Amino acid sequence: MFNLVLVAPEIPHNAGAAGRLCLATGSTLHLVKPLGFSLDDKQVRRAGLDYWKDVKVELWDSLHDLLASAAPERTWFLTTKGETAHWDVAFQPGDFLICGCETRGLPESLIATHRDQLLRIPMQEPGPRSLNLSTAAAVVLYEAWRQIR
């Protein structure tokens, strides 16, 4: 259905929750190294529960490798630095939704070169600077899923 990409995730619970999210939506989870944990970490398994074994997970050495090998037709980068709200784009099956790591987000070089593909989740102001990684992924992935169903 869709492809959810976590670039250098640091928190095992977020990867586990994203895995369950992908399983629930028929999506593939792509994890881009370096990971801040082992995939055998009990926190990943705990968050993924007994579903983790059924999650389609692809592991990549770098985002460059993923983009070169998977050659996605459409990519969307989730960031607080985007100007387009996630509900203002028309998602298509197969889209790649790319999230940065919890503490640093996406690299500035990537943001600078993909301005027309940056999506943000609107929040009231003043408010938090961002949402939890797995929460943000769920918000956008379910909007994409809603649109095509």
DSSP three-state, residue 22: helix
**In sequence order, what DSSP letters do the residues of 111-138 get, joined into one string?**
HHH-GGGEEE----SSS-S---HHHHHH
Whole-number pLDDT of residue 47: 57
For residue 68, what are its two tokens? Answer: 């070169």
CATH number of the domain at 102, please. Answer: 3.40.1280.10
The pLDDT tens digits for 32-44 are 999 998 877 566 6
Contact 61, 36 (CB under 8 A): no
The pLDDT tens digits for 75-105 are 999 999 999 999 999 999 999 999 999 999 9
Domain region containing 94: 3-148
Whole-number pLDDT of residue 51: 77
- What average pLDDT does the structure give for the chain? 91
Using 70 as the pLDDT threshold, list the residues of the chain that sit under it.
41-49
- Is the full-model pTM beyond 0.85? yes
Provide the number of structural domains found in the chain. Answer: 1
Whole-number pLDDT of residue 39: 79
